[in-house]
Amino acid sequence: MAQNIPTEQWAQVVEQTGKPVVYKKIPVQKPGPDEVLINIKFSGVCHTDLHAVNGDWPLATKLPLVGGHEGAGVVVARGDLVKDIEIGDHAGVKWINGTCLACDFCQRSDEPLCAKALLSGYTVDGTFQQYCIAKAAHVARIPKECDLEAIAPVLCAGITVYKGLKESGARPGETVAIVGAGGGLGSLACQYAKAMGLRVIAIDGGNEKKEMTAKLGAESYVDFMSSKNVVSDVKAATPDGLGPHAVILVAVNEKPFQQAAEYVRPRGTVVAIGLPAGAYLRAPVFESVIKMITIKGSYVGNRADSAEAIEFFRRGLIKAPYKSIGMSELQKVYDLMHEGKIAGRYVVDTSK
């Protein structure tokens, strides 16, 4: 290990689900043979982190838990088996912290489907601490020219929506509806969709998100809070009135998951990404069949998707808004997120 690594560090710890996070000092871990230790400088706050704090998914978290999975920083130590990443390199800790690399899914580069996947900030400690461990094979390589604070949200939100847009099969010039467009994933989805040559209908609530999504390149906005009929408003927002070719669902609410099948274009694809607790995807069989629609899930991305999403950022194509705050104030971010009051993403600075 390098000499300047402290034995203790600041972290935000979930000690009990459903209770506020606790800001305290905890020990710095040592990386195993196939792991790296990353000095996390900045970490985005994803709604998944709030699901972990609330314990509202049918998947248990580790406890006590350090949340966070959009961590950007500097490699400060590595295990003996690690050869392809150097001390001093910039790297990112993603949701997929490690996988077995040997199962059928890993072999086919569907690593998120690996049954042995370690999940940062959920089944292993994540990035709301100053020093975080991850499997070297899975850490994201971040080019030195990229700003570590601005790139943090790409490490989950960016990768996930980029993958989801690819899964939708939408082609350049076609229209995609982004449901929850004013949130963390949604704001990045607007930018990736635009960079991929797609036309964006943003769906969210309130004027702040309307203005933000317009700046991010959305051509139209449907306000789910004031619209009298979301289905007809979304259809009307497409150039020919037939509905969007794809729908990217990144809201944390069940209702839009039921509505999407109604306004998606015949032959279109609905991609479910958001994970509202206890929600169901429902669609009428008759219309789904005669419209030949596809409804599918999309879950983060593999290592290649991650590298591609980072490359879009490096090229200057992704400039999503974020708000900076000290890591000590993480609970404030969760409170705002719970109320749906965050336009874009919050990024915490682990030194404050």
Q: Which residue has the tokens 């980072």?
A: 310
Nearer to ligand 8ID, 66 or 250 (CB): 250
DSSP 328: G
List the interface residues with ligand 8ID, window 177-216 (CB under 6 A).
179-180, 182-186, 203-205
Of 250, 271, 310, 333, the one binding ligand 8ID (CB under 6 A) is 250
Q: State the helix-helix crossing angle for 157-168 and 303-314, rounded to 10 degrees.
A: 110
Nearer to Zn ion, 156 or 270 (CB): 156
Least Å distance, CB 252 to Zn ion, is 12
**Interface positions with Zn ion (CB under 5 A):** 46, 48, 156
Query: By CB under 6 A, is residue 244 in contact with ligand 8ID?
Result: no
Query: By CB under 6 A, is residue 299 in contact with ligand 8ID?
Result: yes
Of 300, 327, 333, 348, the one binding ligand 8ID (CB under 6 A) is 300
Query: By CB under 6 A, is residue 218 in contact with ligand 8ID?
Result: no
Out of ligand 8ID, Zn ion, none, what residue 90 binds, judged by CB under 5 to 8 A for its kind, is: none
What Å distances lie between residue 13 and 16, 129, 300, 352, CA to CA?
9, 9, 24, 16
Find the part of the chain contacting ligand 8ID (CB under 6 A) among 76-84, 271-279, 306-314, 319-327: 271-279
Contact 2, 43 (CB under 8 A): no
C-alpha torsion angle, residues 47, 50, 55, 59 (rounded to 10): 30
d(CA 95, CA 301) in angstroms, rounded, equals 9
Q: State the helix-helix crossing angle for 303-314 and 184-195, rounded to 10 degrees.
A: 70
Q: Which residue has the tokens 């609330």?
A: 54
What SS3 state is found at 323? strand
Least Å distance, CB 269 to ligand 8ID, is 15
d(CA 129, CA 351) in angstroms, rounded, equals 9
Find the part of the chain contacting ligand 8ID (CB under 6 A) among 144-152, 249-257, 281-289, 305-313: 249-257
Footprint on this chain of ligand 8ID (rule: CB under 6 A): 46-48, 51, 156, 160, 179-180, 182-186, 203-205, 224, 250-253, 255-256, 273-275, 298-300, 337, 340, 342
